[in-house]
Amino acid sequence: MTLKKPDKNDDLQHAEESPLIGPAEVARLLGVSSGWVRDHATRKTPRIPVVRIGRLMRFRPADIKVIVQYGFTSENWRANGEQF
């Protein structure tokens, strides 16, 4: 059996990834209720980018950080080079 040497690029990619967080954690970070988070993530034009895993809603911490810095409107996201 031979072992493959890990690729440095793979290590860097995994190091920069953060685990997804749930609506309750997002609500705590934003100072709102988890119902408010769910409402704004499930609108026809969502104000909070969401990752769906089956019926579960999860959020990227980096997206929440952008919301805290720039606000909730999609125009703010586009103006700062972000897309959702």
Domains with residue ranges and CATH for the chain: 19-79 (1.10.10)
- Distance (Å, rounded) from C-alpha 57 to C-alpha 27? 13
Q: Residue 3 — pLDDT band, cuts 50, 70, 90?
A: low
- Distance (Å, rounded) from C-alpha 24 to C-alpha 48? 14
In sequence order, the 6+-apart residues with CB closer than 8 A to the CB of 80 are 66, 70
- Between 83 and 35, residue with greater pLDDT: 35
At 22 the pLDDT is: 95
